Amino acid sequence: MANSIMASSKPLIFLSSSSTQPNRIINLPKLAKLPQIPKPISSSSSLSTKALSFSSATVKSLALIAALAPPSMAEAMEKAQLFDFNLTLPIIVVEFLFLMFALDKVYYSPLGNFMDKRDSEIKEKLASVKDTSTEVKALDEQAAAVMRAARAEIAAALNKMKKETQVEVEEQLAEGRKKVEAELQEALASLEKQKEETIKALDSQIAALSEDIVKKVLPS
């Protein structure tokens, strides 16, 4: 590629433009002879000496190329320029500035603002979630307090129940004891009575018996 770029340098263009129609016709007979002069091998061996000196042969061959080259290529080479600054540059500047402002209106600003807003919203939500942790703690404490109160209530009720039942049981016990004692007393009293009765009975019998004994023992 560098070849064609270099080939587009001024001398070539000058030659190509200077070689008019009649010159070409005159050159054509030479065409048969010329290929023998610039043979690739011989020329490459003597390139170092010939390259800078621009011998007449090279000039001729250049002219030949210019003449031989298809007109489209010659035209193209005349205009072939890599570093061709022109009005394209300021137009591209304007286009770029337009693109920058348009993209800012369409893309950067709206989407950027939207993303920032979303970011701050998410951060706010996160912060609020962190804040509720105290609320959760308070609720937890409340729940614990309720549990404690309930437990205390239950314990109190249980104690009350226990006391009540104990009193009842004691009452019943006392009642039962009283009954038993009364029965015992009664039984003891009846026993006493019977004892006295039997003693009385025995007393009367003793008198009769002792009389009998006396009668039997004492000879009368």
Instruction: Write out the residues near another protein by the rule CB under 8 A.
Output: 1, 3-8, 38, 40, 43-44, 47, 50-51, 54, 57-58, 61-62, 64-65, 68-70, 73, 76, 79-93, 95-104, 106-108, 110-112, 114-115, 118
- How far is residue 126 CA from its own chain's centroid? 13
CB nearer another protein, residue 26 or residue 41: 41
- Please enumerate, as own/partner, the contacts of 129-134 that have beta carbons within 8 Å and a separation of 24 or more: none
104 phi/psi in degrees, rounded to 5: -65, -40
**Inter-residue contact 7 to 77 (CB < 8 Å):** yes
CB nearer another protein, residue 82 or residue 127: 82
Question: Shortest Cβ distance from residue 51 to another protein (Å)?
Answer: 6
CB nearer another protein, residue 6 or residue 129: 6
CB nearer another protein, residue 90 or residue 219: 90
- Which residues lie closer than 8 Å to 48 by C-beta, 6 or more apart? none
Question: Shortest Cβ distance from residue 25 to another protein (Å)?
Answer: 19
Question: Shortest Cβ distance from residue 29 to another protein (Å)?
Answer: 18
CB nearer another protein, residue 115 or residue 158: 115
Q: 3-state DSSP call for residue 39?
A: coil
Question: Shortest Cβ distance from residue 152 to another protein (Å)?
Answer: 50
- Give the whole-angstrom CA distance, residue 209 versus residue 212: 5
CA triplet 34, 24, 77: central angle to 5 degrees? 90
Question: Shortest Cβ distance from residue 144 to another protein (Å)?
Answer: 39
